[in-house]
Amino acid sequence: AQSVTQPDIHITVSEGASLELRCNYSYGATPYLFWYVQSPGQGLQLLLKYFSGDTLVQGIKGFEAEFKRSQSSFNLRKPSVHWSDAAEYFCAVGPYGQNFVFGPGTRLSVLP
Amino acid sequence: EAGVAQSPRYKIIEKRQSVAFWCNPISGHATLYWYQQILGQGPKLLIQFQNNGVVDDSQLPKDRFSAERLKGVDSTLKIQPAKLEDSAVYLCASSTGTVQETQYFGPGTRLLVL
């Protein structure tokens, strides 16, 4: 069965600094990969997704993620963090024909 | 376009009581999902509907949880009787079709079982 790990439970960065959130998955083939963001009291919002093709994926709000097959990783990045990016971030894996498995999440705090 | 609506937003009950949650998906979305999100964890799929048929309910604790989607639109999720470990946020999501289509999530219902 597929699984997702997000090694960092909580990350704190200063506003304007760069950000990288890690995601590793376990699955026998190339999965479909997603990053979602959840702000306090809000539902999850899709940031970006990878199905195939270019391994660098652009998403909303200035986020991007890179799929690295050799490392079974799909790390999320942003060059300059804004205070409004403070939220919980979830990586999800969805092998074709099956439903998502979400990682445990990484909470991002942003210092002014 | 209106998003996924859920009610109530918060609910506090005592163990062994019953509770029901309601979800109204985005208009025209054939697929509806219910997730359970326990504090500190990612969402876990409970049940997936395609129109008014169940596609996947393998992780639904069927001895106490039930869900229905009458007429392929609104859905209700019920817990009877509730246990302490059911305290969680219950998220509803909808999409146009297959699981790889973007899922749009509602704000969730936060349940506390005392």
**pLDDT, mean over chain B:** 92
pLDDT tens readout for residues B25-45: 999 999 999 999 999 889 999
Kindly list the distances between the CA atom of residue B55 and the CA atoms of B5, B31, B38, in Å, as whole numbers in the listed order. Answer: 22, 9, 23
The pLDDT, as a whole number, for residue A30 is 73
Q: Which chain A residue has its CA at the smallest distance from B92's CA?
A: A43
Q: How many CB atoms lie within 10 A of CB B70?
A: 9
Q: Could you tell me which of A3, B19, B18, B16 has the C-alpha nearest to residue B8?
A: B19
A32 touching B, CB under 8 A? yes
B105 contacts B92 by C-beta, under 8 angstroms: yes
The pLDDT, as a whole number, for residue B92 is 96
Q: Which residues in chain A touch residue B102, judged by CB atoms under 8 angstroms apart?
A: 46, 49
Contact between B44 and A102 using a beta-carbon 8 Å cutoff: yes
- What residues of chain B have any CB closer than 8 angstroms to a CB in chain A? 3-4, 33, 40-45, 48, 56, 91, 93, 99-100, 102-108
Q: Is the pLDDT of residue A62 over 70?
A: yes
Kindly list the distances between the CA atom of residue A60 and the CA atoms of A63, A67, A100, B81, in Å, as whole numbers in the listed order. Answer: 6, 17, 20, 41
Q: Which residues in chain B touch residue A104, judged by CB atoms under 8 angstroms apart?
A: 40-42
Nearest to A100 among B45, B107, B108 (CB): B45
| pLDDT-based confidence at residue B99 (cuts at 50, 70, 90) | low
The pLDDT, as a whole number, for residue A43 is 83
Contact between A49 and B102 using a beta-carbon 8 Å cutoff: yes
The pLDDT, as a whole number, for residue A87 is 96
| pLDDT-based confidence at residue B72 (cuts at 50, 70, 90) | confident
The pLDDT, as a whole number, for residue A46 is 92
| pLDDT-based confidence at residue B100 (cuts at 50, 70, 90) | low
